[in-house]
Amino acid sequence: MPTSVKVKTLRIDGRDVSAREDQTILEVARENDIWIPTLCHLDGLSPVGACRLCLVEIKGSTKLLPACVTAVEEGMEVSTQTEGLESYRRMILELLFSERNHVCSICKSNGHCEMQTLAQRLGLTHIHFPYRYPSLPVDLSHELFGMDHNRCILCTRCVRVCAEIEGAHVWDVMGRGVDARIICDLNQPWGTSETCTSCGKCVHVCPTGALFERGRSASEMDKRPEFLPYLTLMRRAGGE
């Protein structure tokens, strides 16, 4: 670390903490064992601030700000667990559950799903928004992996890991709004992709059961995203 980096002190949930000036609120909170829920964020990938679960209150600001992209500032007073925030977080998760078809009991990621874990931790007991029940396809054309759009929450982790880490950019998002969907190459079956290297990184960063290894039954698909921080660390070491 260059010695010129300045240190900032701030307050999170009433605790005084110190941080490097280039850190985000989320990074500092995690270093200090303060839990902030996230779904689209993953260490090692560029932040997008899209899931809105990590919104926090900052004294003096009327707007809620995403902890994953907001840089620390001297004297900042951050609240991460107010009643208002918790209610917003539960509603956002509810919206996600209502958007597509998340049926945990038959999902390959049941028990290993980040969305499920978050719902439990936030005390989400039922969904009071009407379910949309869209009819979405499952792509089983790839010999090793599958993609179930019914479980996809459009967090774009797969898009980012493939473009930023693997360098293949097989995935992207098509359309917009509620009709947006993750696509492979020119919106074609995964198995016909000319760009996919079958590395499986997308599968293991996927927070839900949308991307999975074939041959797994319900509850069998545990994800191993640990490669990502390790890879990032190694690449940084290689660059120095």
Partner 1 sequence: MILPPEKQPMPSDDKRWRLVATAMRRHGYKSHGLIESLHSIQETFGYVSEDALKFTAKMLRVPLSQAYGVASFYHYFNLKPLGRHSCVVCRGTACHIKGSAQILSDLEQLFAVRVGETTEDGSLSLLSAQCLGACGIAPAVVLDGVVMGRAEAESIVHRVEEVVAA
Partner 2 sequence: MIFEELGHIEEAELEAQSRFERRIHVCAAAGCLASGADAVKEALSGELQSTGLEERCQMVGVGCMGLCSRGPLVSIQPDNVLLAQVRAKDAKEVVGTLGKKPPKRLACPSDLPFFKRQLKVVLENMGRIDPERIEEYIAVGGYSALHKGLTEMTSQEVIDEVVKSGLRGRGGAGYPTGLKWSQLSKESSPIKYVVCNADEGDPGAFMDRSVLEGDPHRVLEGMILAGYATGATQGFIYVRAEYPLAIKRLNLAIKQASRLGLLGHNICGTPVSFGVEVRVGAGAFVCGEETALMASIEGGRGTPRPRPPFPTQSGIWGRPTMINNVETFANIPPIIRNGGKWLAEIGTEKSKGTKVFSLSGKVVNTGLIEVPMGITLREIIFEIGGGIPFGGKFKAVQTGGPSGGCVPDSGLDVPVDYESLSHLGTIMGSGGMVVMDDSASMVDVARFFLDFSRHESCGKCIPCRVGTVQMHGLLDKIAANRATSEDLAMLEELCDLVRKTSLCGLGQTAPTPVVSTLRHFREEYLSHLSGKA
| Residues at the site binding partner 1, with contacts judged by CB under 8 A | 163, 168-176, 183-187, 195
82 binds, among partner 1, partner 2, none (CB under 5 to 8 A by kind): none
Of 196, 207, 210, residue with least CA distance to 167: 196
**Phi-psi region at 104: left, alpha or beta (left = phi > 0; alpha = psi -120 to 50):** alpha
Classified as helix, coil or strand, 67 is coil
Three-class DSSP category at 55: strand
Residue 185 interacts with, from partner 1, partner 2, none (CB under 5-8 Å by kind): partner 1
Question: Measured between alpha carbons, how far is 53 from 37 in angstroms, rounded to an integer?
Answer: 6
CB of 230 to partner 2, least distance (A): 28
First to last CA, the chain: 11
Q: Which residues contact 133 (CB under 8 A, 6 or more apart)?
A: 101
CB of 194 to partner 1, least distance (A): 8
Integer angstrom CA distances of residue 147 from 2, 55, 151, 198: 43, 29, 9, 13
Out of partner 1, partner 2, none, what residue 184 binds, judged by CB under 5 to 8 A for its kind, is partner 1
Site for partner 2 in 175-234 (CB under 8 A): 175-180
Q: Which does 55 bind (CB under 5 to 8 A by kind): partner 2, partner 1, none?
A: partner 2
Give yes or no for a contact between 53 and 119, defined as CB atoms under 8 angstroms apart: no
Binding track over 79-118 against partner 2, x by CB under 8 A? ---------x--xx--xx-xx-------------------
Instruction: Say which entry of partner 2, partner 1, none residue 170 contacts (CB below 5 to 8 A, set by partner kind).
Output: partner 1
Summarize as ranges the residues that interact with partner 2 (CB under 8 A).
48-52, 55, 64-66, 69-71, 88, 91-92, 95-96, 98-99, 128-130, 132, 153-154, 173, 175-180
